[in-house]
Chain A
Amino acid sequence: MSDNIEKKVSEPLLSKKRKQLVSNPMDTDNPITIQVLGICSALAVTIALEGTVIMALAVFFVLVLANVLISAMRNTIPNRIRIIVQLVVVASLVAVVDQVLRAYAYEQSKALSVFVGLIITNCIVMGRLEAFAMGNKPWDSFLDGVGNAVGYGWIIIAIAFVRELFGAGKLFGQQVLPDSYIGNGFFATPAAACIILGLIIWILRAKSGYVED
């Protein structure tokens, strides 16, 4: 990625390489299914779709902005304290998200409880800052943040879809399966999320042929 910094000729805004910055994390380099990061929140918040979508949006906001901010500051951050600087930026953004949720979606903020705060320690956020934003320009970092946040978001929304549908027969709190359907309590446990995630990983890797070294 270092050649990115030294490049003098300006690249088109959405060159092929930049498009891949967005598309790769959604599929072939997905933070959850390939890198297996951010599993904790993927298991914990995915019991219902509504909260999961809010969580995905919160991570989107934090990840994209943190990526841009850190990338803009990257040349002024002393190397020895870079983790602390990153944490301060992420923590401030998470505090903003948390306050907004409390003000406008109090019920959901209560349901998500500590997991909004725990975005600070989400491996995907820290991982992207360390691996990408510290070495790339703000626009590239923005695209990378978008790609990874969406890649994270669609997986947890897929898990939440299965869990809410089979666990309660509902989607977004609305009954979709017939009333005679008996909700399966197993899908309400994080263990079910783990199994569903495993199945998603299985399907995606069977399709792409990716194998762990």
Chain B
Amino acid sequence: MKFLRDQVDKLKPHFSEGGKLSMLHSSFDALETFLFVPNHTTKNGAHIRDGIDLKRTMFIVVIALIPALLFGMWNLGFQFHKATGVDASLMDNFLIGLIHTLPIILVSYGVGLGIEMAFAQFRGHPVNEGFLVSGLLIPMVMPADVPLWMVGVATAFAVIIGKEVFGGTGMNLLNPALTARMFLYIGYTPKMSGEECWTPIADGVATVDSYSGATTLGNIASASAKSEGWSENLFSWKTSMMDSIIGTVPGSIGETSVVAILIGAVILIAAGIGSWKIMLSTILGGLFMGWIMDIAGNGNAWTEMPAYYHLIIGGFMFGAVFMATDPVSAAQTGRGKWIYGFLIGVLTVLIRVFNPGYPEGIMMAILLMNVFAPLIDYYVVQSNIKTRLKRVKVQ
């Protein structure tokens, strides 16, 4: 450690003002603060009890994502071995997942951080940590079989169009990770949905007879298209509700396990990073709309399905816990958060039930509400002003 510190200190004069490499100081600062705690000392404001900064915020989210990520890796191998009919140990499953997930993570971070650094250099502001979370969220919402160049293109699109054109971290209207997924989903639909993409099985590899690869969402959507009713057989692999909760079903890398996501939710809420209001209201919104569908339904699989199943299939929980709560793109006011989350839940179920083209609705619901979040905040603030004005006594 001492050696590293010395080396960094030796290099430092070159990068500080007046040094010959001073133009690269943003990149150097980024490297230094990754290696060491910044030595900035508090000059005033000792009344601040907890000077939480962007770095810590982001890191807690990354920690909260780890359970879902690790489970997703294991599940990938599990799905692979189940499809090919091989009995595999825990380690084998995990390794298969690691082999497929790690390149996606590396591409996502490499492309995203590269662009962020380029923009920071160009604009002359320090590289900030905004991409730490997005860079991990992007792989977690990808199907395992996605080509790496697509991840790269989508990441570049999300960082440039979704974030930098608005002014960088903290200024973006849309959630960058979902922007990346949306880009691929609309751009390369066959690679992002259907039965082929969730499990990385090479061409020509024999699979067991019961293998279909379809997700629960896909099964329900196609059953609904044929006006068939709901049955437990529609769970992917004909498994049960329990498997959907634990997460041993096909799906995007990080989204399948409700349990692992809830662990992440607990971490986020305990650290005060993620808003429990948004998580809760999203779930309530989904339940409410699912319940309306149950009552008013016209007898296809989507409407006959009990409302609470909406929460455990597809990416609902992942979206509600990690995507909707993005502090930048979500609503900021307390009441606004309730409205914002509730509408995400409602829209998710609406899109699932009524739009045959898009089996999963949470991605679009969150992006749509991201756009409306500033409007919601505006009206919440206005109504606060109005109620307070009423209290004013004019003499």
The interface stretch among B71-79, B182-190, B288-296 is: B182-190
Q: Is A184 an interface residue (CB 8 A)?
A: yes
- For chain B residues 161-205, which have a beta carbon within 8 Å of chain A? 161, 165, 183, 186-189, 191
Q: Is A210 an interface residue (CB 8 A)?
A: no
Residues of A within 8 A of B189 (CB): 185
Inter-subunit contact B188/A184 (CB<8 Å): yes
A72 to B161, CA, bound (A): 47
16 contacts between A and B (CB under 8 A): A182-B188, A182-B191, A184-B187, A184-B188, A185-B186, A185-B187, A185-B188, A185-B189, A186-B183, A186-B186, A186-B187, A187-B187, A189-B186, A195-B161, A198-B165, A202-B165
- Name the residue of chain A whose CB is nearest to the CB of B149: A182
CB distance from B119 to the nearest CB of A (A): 14
CB distance from B146 to the nearest CB of A (A): 12
Residues of B within 8 A of A185 (CB): 186-189
Known contacts A185-B186, A186-B186, A198-B165; 13 additional CB pairs below 8 A are A182-B188, A182-B191, A184-B187, A184-B188, A185-B187, A185-B188, A185-B189, A186-B183, A186-B187, A187-B187, A189-B186, A195-B161, A202-B165
A81 to B161, CA, bound (A): 45
Residues of A within 8 A of B186 (CB): 185-186, 189
Say which size band chain A's interface belongs to: under 10
Q: Which residues of B contact A (CB under 8 A)?
A: 161, 165, 183, 186-189, 191
A100 to B377, CA, bound (A): 53
- Name the residue of chain A whose CB is nearest to the CB of B182: A186
- For chain A residues 161-202, which have a beta carbon within 8 Å of chain B? 182, 184-187, 189, 195, 198, 202
CB distance from B299 to the nearest CB of A (A): 33
Residues of A within 8 A of B188 (CB): 182, 184-185
> Most chain-B Cβ atoms within 10 A of its Cβ — which of A182, A186, A187, A189?
A186
Residues of B within 8 A of A186 (CB): 183, 186-187
- Name the residue of chain B whose CB is nearest to the CB of A191: B186
A186 to B183, CA, bound (A): 7
CB distance from B97 to the nearest CB of A (A): 25
CB distance from B193 to the nearest CB of A (A): 12
> Most chain-B Cβ atoms within 10 A of its Cβ — which of A182, A187, A198, A202?
A182
- Name the residue of chain A whose CB is nearest to the CB of B186: A186
CB distance from B349 to the nearest CB of A (A): 24
> Most chain-B Cβ atoms within 10 A of its Cβ — which of A184, A189, A198, A202?
A184
> Most chain-A Cβ atoms within 10 A of its Cβ — which of B161, B186, B187, B191?
B187
A182 to B150, CA, bound (A): 10
A189 to B161, CA, bound (A): 16
- Name the residue of chain A whose CB is nearest to the CB of B161: A195
A32 to B135, CA, bound (A): 36
Residues of B within 8 A of A187 (CB): 187
CB distance from B262 to the nearest CB of A (A): 33
CB distance from A1 to the nearest CB of B (A): 36
- Name the residue of chain B whose CB is nearest to the CB of A184: B187
A140 to B165, CA, bound (A): 39
